[in-house]
Copies of this chain bind each other. A is one copy, B any other.
Amino acid sequence: MSDRLALFTAGQFADSHAKTAHGILRYAGREVVAVLDAAHAGRSAPEVVPYVRRDVPIVATVAEAAALGANVLAVGVAPFGGALTPEWRAVLLEAAAAGMELEAGLHTELGEDQELARAGVRDLRAAPAGLSVPAGPARRPDVRVVHTVGSDCAIGKMSVTLELDAAARGRGLESAFVATGQTGIAIAGWGIAVDHVISDFVAGAAFRLIEEGARRAPLLFVEGQGALGHPAYSGVTLGLLHGCLPDVLILCHRAGATVLDDYPETPIAPLPELVRNYEAVAALVRPARVAAVALNTRGLDDAAARAAIDTAAAETGLPVADPVRFGAEGLLEAVA
């Protein structure tokens, strides 16, 4: 029986933390029959979040999702800290009772909860067996690696990466998207959630993904995680950067953001400084230049978006585009 997903977003469908649901709707070739979100029920998904571009009804209850034919409940939110709350667990149990399989990418592994495990669970974030340290820069496969890095979490690094991969394949290049987080894995069907492996092995996990990617295509687009200046996740960011050993970086930023979303006391440095910082830390292991900036202009009108892009280009001297809004061709020229 093929998957028919209901995406559970717990009242947060309009929020950037619902990026898993948004990403699956926009990018995954998987059937989605409903979004389960009582706060937005009665509307359609693209009415609330135009980015998703797929007309799916939003419903309030598990019973409604079941009536639409859902056989998998997928948690569509990536909450800060990644824990399963008692309220969410209750919804998962209700879905299980309605005969659905459960899919999630939380740090709380559903498979370790005996009651949930009975339903049949897919923990997208579970680490594969046999991880260790990377073979290292001298043994990196001979492929071209393009890696997205960012000024914050949940600003669209994965979307940029997917758009670039699609644009490359559209142009006849052999390329592959390399998933490093739960949403990317839900979309691509393979990958490792590097933020859930033990910290000594985060670079080793990234290196393994490059080895696997090299068997798929000679041009790899590796999605970034976190941010170098993020008080919680910087270790993931740097381990991933040093493990995937990129040739070229794309700096992702949300237009107008000046502080971190999860830590508003922490400022975001100006773009030229972010470029320098990423190039400096990359060079500690293997030099990589920032070749372009991907600017997330969501929420701005077209004129404001184009003005923000022009400003960022003037500030950095780099090609700047919003590939999600205006297409990825320009960025692809700069990096592939």
User: Which residues of the other chain, B, contact A242 by a CB distance below 8 angstroms?
Assistant: 230-232, 234-235
A57 contacts chain B at the CB level, 8 A cutoff: no
Partner among B137, B194, B277, B281 whose Cβ is within 8 Å of the Cβ of A199:
B194
Most B CB contacts (10 A, CB to CB) among A137, A198, A204, A238 go to A198
Give the distance in Å from the alpha carbon of A232 to the alpha carbon of B134 in the complex: 6
In the assembled complex, the CB of A153 is this many whole angstroms from the nearest CB of chain B, namely 11
B280 touches A233 (CB 8 A): no
User: Which residues of the other chain, B, contact A277 by a CB distance below 8 angstroms?
Assistant: 280-281, 284
Most B CB contacts (10 A, CB to CB) among A204, A266, A285 go to A285
A170 contacts chain B at the CB level, 8 A cutoff: no
This chain's copy number in the assembly:
2
A81 contacts chain B at the CB level, 8 A cutoff: yes
Q: Mark A233-261, 1 if CB is under 8 A from B, else 0.
A: 11111111011000000000000000000
User: Which residues of the other chain, B, contact A281 by a CB distance below 8 angstroms?
Assistant: 228, 234, 277, 281
User: Which residues of the other chain, B, contact A198 by a CB distance below 8 angstroms?
Assistant: 107, 195-199
A232 touches B136 (CB 8 A): yes
A133 contacts chain B at the CB level, 8 A cutoff: yes
A120 contacts chain B at the CB level, 8 A cutoff: no
A residues lining the B interface (CB < 8 Å): 80-83, 107, 132-134, 136-138, 194-204, 228-240, 242-243, 262-263, 265-266, 269, 277, 280-281, 284-285
17 intermolecular pairs with C-beta atoms under 8 Å apart: A81-B133, A107-B200, A133-B262, A136-B232, A137-B265, A195-B199, A196-B198, A196-B200, A199-B235, A228-B238, A228-B281, A230-B242, A230-B285, A234-B285, A266-B285, A277-B280, A277-B281
